[in-house]
Amino acid sequence: AAGVIQSPRHLIKEKRETATLKCYPIPRHDTVYWYQQGPGQDPQFLISFYEKMQSDKGSIPDRFSAQQFSDYHSELNMSSLELGDSALYFCASSRGHSDQPQHFGDGTRLSIL
Amino acid sequence: QQQVKQSPQSLIVQKGGISIINCAYENTAFDYFPWYQQFPGKGPALLIAIRPDVSEKKEGRFTISFNKSAKQFSLHIMDSQPGDSATYFCAATTSGSRLTFGEGTQLTVNP
C-alpha cells in the first residue's frame, strides 16, 4: 500500500539558512499534519491542512510557514534556521478531517550546523 | 504540561512475556486514542486505536484496555517478541484533530 512520502530524508543546513520540506500524502488523503520530534522526545504538533486550508496551528515558530497545494502535497518552509530546529520532522495524512487515523511518513532529519 | 502521561519510560520483557504500557489523560474532550510503534529512523506506525465507548479492543497480540471513568488506557502486548522492541507512543485526539502524544516507552524484548 502507498504510504506518506517525505523528502528529503536528510537535510543539513547552517544557521540562518532556509529549508523546505515536502510531504506527499497517501492517495485520496486530503488532510496533512506536520510534527516535530526532538531526540528522545514525543512528536509535537506544528500545523495541519484540510482541503488546502489551514485547519489547526500548534507550536510552530513564526519563522516557519506551510501550505497545501492543489494536488494535496504540502511543504514546510523554514527560515532563519537555528540550532534548536535540529529535529525529525514528520508529516502525517488522513482521509477527511475527523475520525480518521493519521498515517506518518518516515520523516526528514534536519541538522543545523 | 504533558496532557497525556505515559509510563513506564522503559520496559524490558523476556520473549513470550506480556508487555504492559499505561497512559492517562486529562482532557475529557479526547475521543480517539491510538497507539503508535516507532523504530529508529522511521516514522510512527499506527498499531491499534480505540474510542471511549469501547472498554477493550484486540488485534492479534495487541490489546487496548480503556477505563473512561479513570481516564486511563493501556496497551498489552501478548507473547512479546524481539521484533517488538521499539518505542511505543500512546496518543489522544479530539475529532481527528492534532495528536497529543505521551512521552513514549522504550520496549526491549530479550530473546
What gap in Å lies between CA A104 and CA A102, rounded to an integer? 7
Weakly modelled stretches of chain A, pLDDT under 70: 97-98
pLDDT of residue A49: 95
Weakly modelled stretches of chain B, pLDDT under 50: none
pLDDT of residue A97: 67
pLDDT of residue A67: 97
Work out whether strand B86-92 and strand B100-101 pair parallel, antiparallel, or are unpaired.
Answer: antiparallel
Which of A4, A42, A106 is opposite residue B103, by nearest beta carbon? A42
**B68 vs chain A: nearest CA distance in angstroms?**
18
Q: Which residue of B has its CA nearest to A90?
A: B43
Residues of A in contact with B41 (CB under 8 A): 106
A35–B99: do the CB atoms touch at under 8 Å? yes
B46–A102: do the CB atoms touch at under 8 Å? yes
Residue A92's DSSP bridge partners are A33, A104
Q: Using DSSP, state whether A29 is helix, strand or coil.
A: coil
pLDDT of residue A88: 97
pLDDT of residue A1: 73
What gap in Å lies between CA A80 and CA A62, rounded to an integer? 10
Four-residue CA torsion sign, B45, A88, B106, B23: negative
